[in-house]
Amino acid sequence: MTGLSRRRLLGAGLAATGTALAAGGSAGPRPRLPADVPVAVTRPAAAPTTSPPAPTPAATALPQLDRPVFTLEEYRRLVPGPPFPGNAVALTIDDGPHPTWTPKVLRLLDRYHVPALFCLIGNQVLGHETVARDIVAAGHHVANHTWSHPGKIDHFAQDRVQQEIDRAQNKIYDTTGKLPTIFRSPGGAVSPAVFAAAAQARMVPINWTNDPRDWTRPGTGSITHRMLAAHPGQILLCHDGGGDRGQTCAALETVIPALQARGYQFVALDGLPSSH
């Protein structure tokens, strides 16, 4: 990736202002983070060999939410940073890393200078560590998508959810040197236990606004049609893992330049300021 591309990708980083955390939606403001949330610290380039360091006592957990983030407006009410542009959309990519499809997606994103959030499964990082590091080296951000992507996580007790989150968190950090502060539950499934576990791990739970259901492989035309229905302020979902993603890659070849031609700006979701 060129220096110019990487600067463009990194340009959407959060300002670590230590401002408040409040949940989005129509229910109004929710509990806010303490004013002394530590500022972000850049991790070393080399992958660490130890588990993530313990957070400071004042930042052990976040206030527990009762709904995930669905839009950029809700996200910015939760996470400190400058307002997103009025024409912004965010691309999120789930279920990788994959040795075939993730590199194809990375090349496509580099071509169009698009930043993305990759929601990584811990046991997919296992064995594909180089691909996971390539995501970060390309200037993209990573989120925790559990260790094994259990389909009924919303039926789990909190301690079992916590194990899924913590094991993935350790593997992602050990591999990439980045500690995710965004959590995406498998299938978007949520419950009080899921929200409690995410809060304990200092992660903001996010879902999406636009779902082309590309994981079902409905055809390139169907994926393209659904993604082109996106509006500014939405969080877009697609996949680089979980099977053959040739249709997804083919659709993105059309969708990304088409949305850019409309004047849409792709922005990155890069999480809370680090607590370490």
Q: Looking at the domain assignment, is residue 139 inside a domain? A: yes
Q: Is the pLDDT of residue 205 over 50?
A: yes
Range of the domain at 154: 3-11+60-267
141 as an active site residue: the answer is no
Give the Cα separation of 32 and 12 in Å (integer).
Answer: 23
- Contact in structure between 255 and 231 (CB atoms under 8 Å): no
pLDDT band at 7 (very low <50, low <70, confident <90, very high): very low
Q: How many domains does the chain have?
A: 1
Q: Is the pLDDT of residue 75 over 90?
A: yes
Mean per-residue pLDDT of the chain? 83
pLDDT digits (tens, 9 = 90+) for 87-103: 999 999 999 999 999 99
Q: Looking at the domain assignment, is residue 186 inside a domain? A: yes
Which of 92, 114, 139, 71 is CA-nearest to residue 248? 92
What average pLDDT does range 120-139 have in this prediction? 98
Q: Looking at the domain assignment, is residue 54 inside a domain? A: no
Among residues 94, 95, 214, 240, the one annotated as catalytic is: 94
Among residues 98, 239, 240, 270, the one annotated as catalytic is: 239
98 as an active site residue: the answer is no
**Can you give the CATH number for the domain in which 221 is found?**
3.20.20.370
pLDDT digits (tens, 9 = 90+) for 215-274: 999 999 999 999 999 999 999 999 999 999 999 999 999 999 999 999 999 999 988 875
Q: Looking at the domain assignment, is residue 160 inside a domain? A: yes
Give the max Cα distance, the chain.
50
Determine if the pTM surpasses 0.85: no
Q: Looking at the domain assignment, is residue 55 inside a domain? A: no
Which residue blocks in the chain are alpha helix, DSSP H?
3-10, 72-78, 101-112, 122-125, 129-137, 158-176, 192-200, 220-227, 246-261
- The crossing angle, in degrees rounded to 10, of helices 129-137 and 101-112 is 10
